[in-house]
Amino acid sequence: MAFRDIFNRKNDKLTSMERESVIEGMKDGWIVLDSQGLIIDANPAAERMIGQRRERMFGQPIQTFLGEFTIPRNPPGGVMELEMRRSIRAENSFRNLSVRSSAITDREGMWAGQLILLHDNTERKLADEARRKARDELLIILSTISSAASSAQGLEEFLSESIYQVIHPFHSQLAVIYLIADKKDKTGERHLTLEAQFGLAPEAIKQLSRLDLSMAPFDEVFAGGQALQVESPVEDGRIPTAIAKLGCATFLILPLIAETVTEKKTFGFFCLGRIEKPPFSQDEIVRLRSITDKIAGLIVSERRRNLEITMLERKRLERDLHDSVSQKLYGLITMTEAAHAAIESKVDPIDIITKIGEHARQAVKEMRLFLFQVQPLDVEKEGLISVLHHRLAAVEGRSNIKTRFLAGEKITLEDSLSKEKEVALYFIAQEALNNALRHSGAKTINITLNEARRNVILEITDDGCGFDLKKVGRGGHGLHNMRERAALIDGNLLITSEPNQGTKIVITVPKDYVQ
């Protein structure tokens, strides 16, 4: 019995117009099966979902089009809803369908077939998949940015790495990160400094390196704390000329906001540009806000860490100043008073005056060392060799100590050692030099830096008073600090010294990059 025959009963006939408007126009598909499970009717929506014309479907079993999917002949209660667990290929695309089966009975209530209702979930499935993919992508980006914060050599490298993580997933061709300067300029205004960028030409970098915070539209984003997207920047009068000339079809400004101890604070802006449309969607902006919040939080953490390091370093310098220079100056005062008393007593003060000269020279050495340590040195940027040259010239060289620094002609530490190992080697060398300056009375200090096939060897020797290793043990003279630093970089520290025989310190460090 055909479906149209079932509907076209004597007292309940549907006109062709009613059938066309009500049944044929349904968005959901339906397929009618006879008692043998063969297709006897279908509507246009089912044709689109299955990808076959109705005429080609007639007389075929439902499994021909739905695959190995068993539909009960007589579902309990007359209705059963089933969910398809795989896709149907139709019209050169895959569709996700949910299936609902209802029994069809004749006038006598006898089972005559089945009505299969098809609902197309493709758009919902695709949307769910897109959201899942975007969520997973966001988690990966956030994780990578966090890793970059811990491994980057500085703020600029961290911000540049953050840009690289955002450019491709968000289909951008240009990115700029501005931070708000802590101090006001001469005019009393705060300004923005360009900290990292991608896609800017050299001339644009020059023009955009510094902007006033009061400049539109940054002032609007700063005041409101909300992202601002400008479509067609060339036609928007709020956009600075230098940015408008970049040729972006859309320009997005996101505030970098993080919580401080007392408030939420805007530290800068993350800007993205697209050369071509479409503009950034609301979903993209929401995900980008999660990323910029993460970046802002990491910037605050880095600033707090740097502040803590600065305070610790200041306390250490204050302690060194008190323990070395201050004590020696106090000793000079005491000995000067003793010399004055000796003169009044008509006692030869020559020995006291000699000691005054020695203490004064040592105080000058300590002061030069203190002033050197106050200066900002960037081993990671300048390199070990350059910083050691600077140290010897600024401290030992001005303290009447003969110095010589020999480095292998072909040595290139950047091709052999990580920055971490270069920094550790510098601090070990600094500890050795400080000990020689303060305790050994050395007149000559030599440093050699050589490169073997698998190792880098740093050697520091002096002609000072030396010491007995058995009496000193594993502590004293900063030896403990040197051993700890050497162990952290898998280095081997060898110390050779005897009383009145000077000291020799050799540090052997395995290369990170063996050619």
42: domain CATH number is 3.30.450.20
- Whether 33 and 57 map to the same domain: the answer is yes
247 part of a folded domain: yes
* Amino acid type, 27: K
Instruction: Report the 10 Å Cβ neighbour count for 263.
Output: 6
- Whether 421 and 510 map to the same domain: the answer is yes
For residue 496, give the CATH number of its domain: 3.30.565.10
Looking at residue 461, its pLDDT comes to 93
Give the three-state DSSP class for 110. Answer: coil
- Whether 215 and 108 map to the same domain: the answer is no
Chain segment 28-80, per-residue pLDDT in tens? 888 898 888 899 988 888 888 888 888 888 999 888 887 765 665 555 555 56
- Bridge partners of 81? 100
* Amino acid type, 127: A
Q: What is the mean pLDDT of the chain?
A: 78
449 part of a folded domain: yes
Q: Compute CA distances 119 → 26, 122, 125, whole Å.
A: 11, 9, 12
How far apart CA 154 and CA 378 sit, in angstroms, is 11
360 part of a folded domain: no
How far apart CA 409 and CA 318 sit, in angstroms, is 40
Last residue of a domain, one of 307, 326, 356: 307
For residue 250, give the CATH number of its domain: 3.30.450.40
Structural domain count of the chain = 3
- Whether 8 and 71 map to the same domain: the answer is yes
Instruction: Decide: 380 and 421 in contact? Cβ < 8 Å.
Output: no
- Whether 189 and 228 map to the same domain: the answer is yes
How far apart CA 95 and CA 48 sit, in angstroms, is 10
**For the chain, what percent of residues have pLDDT higher than 70?**
74
- Whether 268 and 194 map to the same domain: the answer is yes
Joined together, the tokens standing for residue 76 give: 């309990």
Q: 324: closest CA among 363, 290, 361?
A: 363
476 part of a folded domain: yes
Looking at residue 459, its pLDDT comes to 93
For residue 10, is pLDDT > 50?
Answer: no
- Bridge partners of 31? 42, 116
pTM: 0.49
Angle at 432 between CA 426 and CA 438, to 5 degrees: 130
**For the chain, what percent of residues have pLDDT higher than 90?**
14
385 part of a folded domain: no
Joined together, the tokens standing for residue 159 give: 């911000």
Walk across the sheet containing 503-510 and list its strands: 402-407, 444-451, 455-462, 503-510, 492-497
Joined together, the tokens standing for residue 21 give: 């408007």
- Whether 75 and 216 map to the same domain: the answer is no
Looking at residue 86, its pLDDT comes to 47
Cα 104 from chain centre: 62
324 part of a folded domain: no
Looking at residue 11, its pLDDT comes to 42
Domain containing 106 equals 3-120
* Amino acid type, 198: F
- Whether 20 and 137 map to the same domain: the answer is no
Last residue of a domain, one of 120, 146, 175: 120
398 half-sphere exposure, CB direction, 13 A CA radius: 16
- Whether 81 and 133 map to the same domain: the answer is no
338 part of a folded domain: no
Last residue of a domain, one of 99, 120, 141: 120
- Whether 38 and 91 map to the same domain: the answer is yes
Q: 40: closest CA among 79, 85, 5?
A: 5
- Whether 176 and 32 map to the same domain: the answer is no
How far apart CA 421 and CA 452 sit, in angstroms, is 16
Looking at residue 408, its pLDDT comes to 74
Task: Give DSSP secondary structure letters for 351-414.
Answer: HHHHHHHHHHHHHHHHHHHHHHHHS---HHHH-HHHHHHHHIIIIIGGGT-EEEEEE-TT--GG
Instruction: Decide: 413 and 456 in contact? Cβ < 8 Å.
Output: yes
Selection from 104-108, 296-300, 440-444 with the highest mean pLDDT: 440-444
108 part of a folded domain: yes
Q: What DSSP element (H or E) covers 487?
A: helix 479-488
Selection from 157-161, 251-255, 476-480 with the highest mean pLDDT: 251-255
Q: Who contacts 43 (Cβ-Cβ below 8 Å, separation ≥6)?
A: 23, 24, 26, 29, 30
Mean pLDDT of 172-177: 93
Q: What DSSP element (H or E) covers 140?
A: helix 122-151
Instruction: Decide: 299 and 287 in contact? Cβ < 8 Å.
Output: no
Looking at residue 286, its pLDDT comes to 92
- Whether 158 and 207 map to the same domain: the answer is yes
Instruction: Decide: 101 and 72 in contact? Cβ < 8 Å.
Output: yes
| Local structure of residue 211 (DSSP, 8 states) | E
